Chain A
Amino acid sequence: MAPNDDSLFPTAQAVEGEVIAPEGSIAPLVDDTQAAGLDLKVRSQWSYARMRFFRHRLALIGLFGLVIIFGAGIVAGHVAPYGYADIDLEHILQGPTHAHYFGTDDLGRDQFTRVIWGIRTSMEVGVFVAFVSTFVGLVVGAIAGYYGGWLDNLLMRVTDLVLTLPLLAVLLTATRLLGQGSQWRVSLILVFFFWTGIARVVRGIYLSLREKEYVEAAKASGAGDARLMFRHILPNTLGPIVVNATLAVGTAILVEAALSFLGFGIKPPTPSLGVLVSDAQRNPNDWWLTVFPGLAIVAIVLCINFVGDGLRDALDPTQRRMRA
């Protein structure tokens, strides 16, 4: 449930246990099963994960919704019926009609068009933040967890410092001072505060896995540090990381919207979803200006959370299955 769940277990051991082998049969498995006329297929752990994911109904709904919403954002220029800055002073503040699905704002701009472009901006921010902070967190967490020592200490102390202050307050201060206005600067500041979460998760897994017998065996057969870290341990961290990164997209979109709404994030004319809700407060009685961009945020984050839950069930079979 909680996006920052440190108790995620690695995926590999559990799936290995599930490889279908008839009781008492002796290797080689594949040939024997064919010969015995049993229709058994040896599946990789990823194909098991895929199977579990596609059996998760809500996750599929979420994935479907995301494809549609983000797809519309990606090809915004083709989907949107008007230009996002097209002013039409003869049709200001109109409610939803066939010509303007989501109505028009106080300059006669089509709200539907602006929401589509807003989705694009918010999507870019969310994906960028999730991707870069996952990468940074992965590298720092792996090094800290594997080598321990001063780097590990420093990382934990930095996270302690960041945790002392309320995130929103720190982000507000940071964006007010450094990044106000530009989409990419706001994204970079979000990255600066998001990577520590992933780093902590990755560190925890590395700490426990580096003591495992299979790592010791690899070390004994002459594998170097880099090989142990990236070839032997990294694949076991991928499950939790993918889940965390997915959920981080949603969190980043929510945080960016809050910052922009308060006036310290992305600035108009760039139409992010938070900016649209903030703009709408010039005409608080025209509900469609507030409702639709907000609905877009809810839809995106809801879909992402569904997909994240499905991924957790798929990649992390040791966790008790929780039907949403």
Chain B
Amino acid sequence: MLTYIVRRILYSIPVLFFSTFFSFLFVSYAGNPVNLLRQNPRVPQSTIDHLIHQEHLDMPVIERYFYWLHDVFTDKLGKSLVTLQPIWPQVTRTMGHTAQFIIISEVLAIILGVAVGIFSAIRQYSVFDYLFTTISFLGFAMPTFWLALLLQIAFTDIFLHYDTRIFYTSGLNSLPGGPAWSWDRLQHLALPIATLCIISFALYSRYMRASMLDVINSDYVRTARAKGVSEWRVIMRHVFRNALIPITTVAALNFGALLGGAIVTETVFSLDGIGFWFVQALGALDLYEVMAYLFVTAIFVVVFNLIADILYGFLDPRIRYD
């Protein structure tokens, strides 16, 4: 097991290297980040020259990649080319906000999805099953941004008509601090959480249902029933626990993808998360911020892929890694 983990980590180093290398080539090919500064009449030419020299912008792209890599490890992801601010504090701040609402919404979605998946499988083709099948099919077909907008419109309308604020539709906080601060934050996060939760719920409930049905039809469940184990015990001990194995993998992968990828939801609700930060950096063509984002999210994906594989091997002893 340990050799497997070490080998996987060693393998992901070249993968990360090449994917950042190609992204760097690609992003720097797009445009000169200094052009924005040139358009600003208050920035003197000497500052620009200094910047070009300091950031090695007159060097070939390949050399600049290695300067960037050097910055990543010695200067914590380097500095923005547009605002000249260090990138690391921005990444940690936005990442914190993203993690807050991703964790809440994913935990909710997993609990709900697993519960609904179990009952749909036990009562296959019942009204309950059809109802939630319809809901999850809608969830698969629905663009995330549209669902987010619908929630936003609904709650803005409630506010306009009845003059009561239940949930806020953009931003993170309207209070600077104080005792009501956490409640205020929750009122802001509720709609983004609901959006992501519905989309992920569709996924988890379907997977859970399919995996429950797989296990229910297996031989060892028939054996358990044949030796007279009560139905409740069969479902809880034999079926449920084995059906959870595929879900852990799906959840780990989804989690890794979402930590960097709630771009749409964050943008709709103007949340100061890492996805929204990335969209703004991309709009401004801020090379180093875009690269920082791609680098951080690539690490998340690699790490959570690894976690998914390890969990799978740990939970299902039929899988052997050697």
| Contact surface of A with B, Cβ cutoff 8 Å | 1, 160-161, 163-166, 168-170, 172-174, 176-178, 250, 254, 257-258, 261-264, 274, 277, 281, 284-285, 287, 290-291, 294, 297-298, 301-302, 305-306, 322-324
Min C-beta distance of A282 to chain B, whole Å: 13
Contacts of A1 in B (CB 8 A): 206-207, 210
Quick one: given A168-B261, A290-B153, are A177 and B206 in contact (CB under 8 Å)? no
Quick one: given A177-B26, A302-B137, are A165 and B19 in contact (CB under 8 Å)? yes
Nearest to B279 among chain A residues (CB) is A262
Complex Cα gap A265–B254 (Å): 25
Main secondary structure, interface of B, reads helix
Min C-beta distance of A2 to chain B, whole Å: 8
Contacts of B260 in A (CB 8 A): 166, 169
Flag if A169 contacts B138 (CB, 8 Å).
no
Flag if B263 contacts A169 (CB, 8 Å).
yes
Q: Which residue of the partner chain, among A169, A264, A324, contacts B261 with CB atoms under 8 Å?
A: A169
Flag if A277 contacts B18 (CB, 8 Å).
no
Flag if B210 contacts A301 (CB, 8 Å).
no
Q: Which residue of the partner chain, among A169, A177, A290, A322, contacts B294 with CB atoms under 8 Å?
A: A169
The contact size tier of chain B is 35 or more
> 11 A-B Cβ contacts within 8 A?
A1-B207, A166-B260, A166-B261, A170-B23, A172-B282, A176-B30, A257-B145, A258-B145, A298-B141, A301-B142, A322-B210
Main secondary structure, interface of A, reads helix
Nearest to A281 among chain B residues (CB) is B149
Complex Cα gap A175–B301 (Å): 22
Quick one: given A168-B261, A301-B140, are A161 and B301 in contact (CB under 8 Å)? no
Complex Cα gap A43–B267 (Å): 54
Nearest to B263 among chain A residues (CB) is A168
| Contact surface of B with A, Cβ cutoff 8 Å | 15-16, 18-19, 22-23, 26-27, 29-31, 125, 133, 137-138, 140-146, 149-150, 152-153, 156-157, 160, 206-207, 210, 257, 260-261, 263-264, 267, 278-279, 282-283, 285, 290, 293-294, 297-298, 301-302
Flag if B282 contacts A258 (CB, 8 Å).
no
Nearest to A309 among chain B residues (CB) is B137
Nearest to A323 among chain B residues (CB) is B125
Flag if B282 contacts A176 (CB, 8 Å).
yes
Quick one: given A163-B301, A166-B260, A324-B133, are A305 and B145 in contact (CB under 8 Å)? no
Quick one: given A1-B207, A169-B263, are A290 and B142 in contact (CB under 8 Å)? no
Flag if A284 contacts B267 (CB, 8 Å).
no
Contacts of B26 in A (CB 8 A): 173-174, 177
Contacts of B156 in A (CB 8 A): 284-285
Complex Cα gap A237–B301 (Å): 31
Contacts of B142 in A (CB 8 A): 294, 297-298, 301
Flag if A166 contacts B153 (CB, 8 Å).
no
Complex Cα gap A324–B124 (Å): 11
Complex Cα gap A36–B63 (Å): 82
Nearest to B129 among chain A residues (CB) is A323
Complex Cα gap A173–B278 (Å): 10
